[in-house]
Structure 1
Amino acid sequence: MAFSSCGDKSMKMNNPRNIKGVVSYKRSFGDLNAVQLKTAKAIGITPVASREEAEHLKKKLVKIEPCEYYDMDSLTHSIPYLVPTASALLESIGENFLDSLESKGLNPNKIIVTSVTRTKEDVKRLRRTNVNASMNSCHFYGTTFDISWKRFTKVEDPDGRPMQDVRADTLKLVLSEVLRDLKKEERCYVKYELKQGCFHITAR
């Protein structure tokens, strides 16, 4: 079993756990910004300049926080709010991922959300260190979030029994299957971000 040198191809595995992944991350998850942006503008909030301004839109948004289905980074450049459709999508991804791991006989791990809704001030600060950060970003609209494919949170046994680790590349394959299925159901657009190590996801 081997990955391609560029990190694009996922491997097809023929094993008892039936983990196949997708043929190519880039081809399977190639929804460009223009496609995602059109939907984000249609179903999302009006972009806000600052976090203070975002306070006035909280009635239209759902606060997301670490829960049984997903974990979150510190979010230094975004705020933990999504429109209801995107919040429900995120929960579905986390729940489906855990269910899929269980069905394959793998120990539970949670996905990690690395970025959510950004204000214009957030993007200006982020552009200093991330060239991919755009002032034409889907993250302005509360419809879009990023999920790491490099890092996951291992769920420990509540009774303290040692749990076998699951390799990150195996978890990535399972997550790709979950996202592929939700794409087929037309619940989301997904862009595979190689340099940023995340799946960039917009609700539909």
Structure 2
Amino acid sequence: MKTRISLSLIIFLLLFTGCGKKGNTVPEQINLKIIPFGKFSRTFNDMNAKHLDAARKIGITPVNSREEAIDLGNRLCQIKTCGQYKIDSLTHSIPFLVPEARDLLKKVGQNFIDSLESRGGGSYKIIVTSVLRAENDIKKLRQKNGNASSNSAHRYGTTFDIAYTRFERFDNKYEIPQAQLKHILAEVLLDLRKQDRCYIRYEVKQGCFHVTARQSY
């Protein structure tokens, strides 16, 4: 009788512990080394006039619709979710950029991933929340938000917004605090800005970095 009870107990314990290990998918929480550089609003304060000047130099003539954007052929590149970034659900823009801006976006995304991995992290990529705005997109946006600019660099296919409040986690290995992800993204953007690759504005209400590609010399 004792042997049967002991055997049943052993089987129960093996099953219980085995199930516990199999279901253990809690990601490792880590903190990454960051170097503070001041307020984001002071560091990334390129005004709209700078963005517009750069956009007009390398951008397209503003289009009225998605169909017109497609008709421009290789002057615009369609962008899709890839290994470097995720394209968010776009409500007031369409996923097209001029080649210079597309290359810059890919560079931002890859540098962000590389920076995380070099510090022992990983598992995250950036989220793009706004891209090219056709004229009919701007009209709809202004109906919803009266403060939205009708003279935006987004009209030229040179500009994209990257969320700093949300990041796409593509595996369950690591969990990194959102504030640290934001700071590392800011480091990456600041480095590219210092290389004269772009202008950047920190958007508080929209929760994003507003980035415009600059002309390459």
Q: Does structure 1 residue 97 correspond to structure 2 residue 112? A: yes
- 2:197 maps to which residue? 187
Matched, 1:69 2:79: no
Matched, 1:199 2:209: yes
Q: Counterpart in 2 of 1:82?
A: 97
The 1-side partners of 2:36 and 2:155 are apart by 30
| Unmatched segments (≥5 aa) in structure 1 | 1-15, 157-161
Structure with the higher helix share, 1 or 2: 2
Secondary structure in 2 matching 1:77 = coil
Secondary structure in 1 matching 2:143: coil
Farther-moved stretch of structure 1 (109-118 vs 128-137): 128-137
| Superposition RMSD in Å | 1.3
Query: Which of these residues, 167, 175, 184, is aligned with residue 165 of structure 1?
Result: 175
* 2:141 counterpart of 1:118: no
After superposition, what is the alpha-carbon deviation per residue over 1:106-147, rounded to whole angstroms, capped at 9, x for unaligned? 232000000000101001101122344211010000000000
Q: Structure 1 vs Structure 2: percent identity of aligned residues?
A: 53
CA distance in 1, matches of 2:91, 2:144: 12
Question: Corresponding residue for 1:19?
Answer: 34
**With structure 2 as the length reference, what TM-score do the two structures score?**
0.81
Q: Which amino acid aligns with 2:188?
A: V
Deviations 1:43-68 (A, max 9, x none): 10000122222221132111110000
Q: Secondary structure at the match of 1:128?
A: helix
CA contact (8 A) 1:143 1:202 kept: yes
Alignment of 1:124-135 (within 5 A): 124-135=139-150
| Unaligned stretches of 5+ residues in structure 2 | 1-30
Aligned length: 184
What SS does structure 2 have at the residue aligned with 1:127?
helix
| In 2, Cα distance between equivalents of 1:79 and 1:127 | 16
After superposing the two structures, state which structure 1 stretch, 100-109 or 112-121, moved more. 100-109
Moved over 4 A (4+): none
Q: Which amino acid aligns with 1:100?
A: S
Question: Does residue 47 of structure 1 match 2:62?
Answer: yes
Q: Say whether the 8 Å CA contact 1:22–1:176 is kept in structure 2.
A: no
Counterpart contact for 1:21–1:174, Cα < 8 Å: no
